[in-house]
Structure 1
């Protein structure tokens, strides 16, 4: 059998599950001029971060009229600035229909608005109350924490290292042009020169620790600071970075954040 025939016997492709970190643009309302002006300002702050970046349009907190939600104009603005919209998340049925008409993939919402509210405490009912025995307490059973990913080699320019469930611990430098991401905390026992994104699934309690802050960008739960802002405090020093009142706070490692 010839090589060409053998090649034809193999499937042309395979489908595999994967995890990809995407930047979500949380849209509050859409006005063409306001949207482009705000986008220009974000790009001015971090031009390298936004160049050819794939983004997800989140409608989970959209408050504007659906009639003003023009996805064709929104896509055009993003393309002019080399930003690629790969999907829309959340929104109501009319908003999702508009996205489909613009040939944009539609993803389910984050689910935060759909979660039932916690029931108010009242008299105990059910088998545990009737029998007089204590109901099982879920908090009393310790849960196994997600394992940390430990990297002992330098993370070089162009590399991406991702810990999708727990903390990321790097026992070496993170070079400029590299990217490290984690669902939990990020620890860098060396200079942090690339981009560090902690709490990528929305964990606002996540922190970034490093022995020398020289980063291009640091993000926690979607809130970020670029190099220009980071140099104002703790630059080239051992620090921890945390989210407080929707702002990233940089604190020397030898002092409590308060």
Structure 2
């Protein structure tokens, strides 16, 4: 009788891919610290794959791993490596991954999912053989306050109040906010790039669809403070008037 206590399966997980032409420790540390300061909770313990396609010589992977640990990031492996760089990465305990054909999507930062109790988890991408399953939307009647996290698994999320600064609303489907969006909104958390974010007053700290994200400074244009729709078009986030 075979032992069924151990099972090894292949699965798909959305990962953040970091592309940087200068992998010296000083330069990498400076740039990462600047990026992490913009949204520290969003990147905390995020799994990262290092894209070394444009790197001619192997960097010090052990030093880079140590830097990532100090910054509360998890360096999983490398992609786009030639044979020499691949071997040195593997000697440092890193995985060598195949670079996705859709490199634009691969470079997007992973969306974080969270349970209502505040426990964060990385969302597994699920292949459903194109079978659509209709589910009722998750509806939040009140304001989502700072420090709170709401996750609508497998469905849309409707918030009738405001999403306060420091709050996070996350959905595998679309997000509808009938008040002001001041915190973070993450739609398409399971990887569906067709999902959208709708809000009646855009003042967000961060918006993300299927791992593609914008921080506040990228949003402060003609749609700031107005009814807006955020969607993906040609692998880029775009803003449109909510009509």
TM tier relative to shorter chain: 0.5 to 0.7
Correspondence for 1:229: 218
Q: What is the CA distance between 1:47 and its match in structure 2? A: 2.1
In the alignment, is residue 189 of structure 1 matched against residue 189 of structure 2?
A: no
Residue 65 of structure 2 corresponds to residue 75 of structure 1:
yes
1:228, distance to aligned residue in structure 2 (A): 1.4
**How far 1:195 sits from its partner (Å)?**
0.7
1:152-171 aligned at under 5 Å gives the runs: 152-171=141-160
- 1:68 Cα shift? 2.5
In structure 1, the gaps of 5 or more residues are 1-21, 114-137
Instruction: Give the Cα separation in 2 of the matches to 1:236 and 1:205.
Output: 24
How big is each residue's C-alpha offset from its partner over 1:90-113, in whole Å with a ceiling of 9 and x where there is no partner?
Answer: 869x969957955x8x7xx89x78
Q: How much has 1:229 moved relative to structure 2?
A: 1.6
**Structure 1 length as normaliser, TM-score?**
0.61
DSSP 3-state at the match of 1:68: coil
Q: What is the distance in 2 between the residues matched to 1:173 and 1:236?
A: 13
1:218 match: secondary structure:
strand
User: Is 1:240 aligned to 2:229, yes or no?
Assistant: yes
Q: Residue 223 of structure 2: SS of its match in structure 1?
A: coil
Secondary structure of residue in 2 paired with 1:32: coil
Q: Is the 8 A contact 2:78 2:89 kept in 1?
A: no
Mark the CA change 1:193 to 1:57 in structure 2 (over 3 Å): closer, same or farther: same
The structure-2 alpha-carbon separation of the partners of 1:206 and 1:40, relative to structure 1 and needing over 3 Å to count, comes to farther
- Structure 2 partner of 1:135: none
- Could you tell me whether the CA contact under 8 Å between 2:62 and 2:92 is conserved in 1? no
Question: In the alignment, is the contact (CA less than 8 A) between 2:158 and 2:177 conserved in 1?
Answer: yes
Greater share of residues in strand: 2
Range with bigger deviation, 65-74 or 224-233: 65-74
Aligned residue for 1:53? 44
2:200 alignment partner in structure 1: 211
SS in 1 for 2:39: helix
- Relative contact order (alpha carbons < 8 A, sep ≥ 6): 1 or 2 greater? 2
Is 1:176 equivalent to 2:165 in the alignment? yes
> Aligned equivalents of 1:99 and 1:228: distance in 2?
38
Cα distance in structure 2, aligned partners of 1:39 and 1:206: 34
TM-fit CA distance, 1:223: 1.4
SS in 2 for 1:224: strand
Q: 1:179 to 1:77 in 2, by over 3 A?
A: same
Q: Deviations over 1:108-162 (max 9, x none)?
A: x89x78xxxxxxxxxxxxxxxxxxxxxxxx98xx743244221112110011111
Greater percentage in helix: 1
1:100–1:187 CA distance, 2 compared to 1 (3 A): farther
What is the rounded CA distance, in whole Å, between the counterparts of 2:213 and 2:201 in structure 1?
A: 18
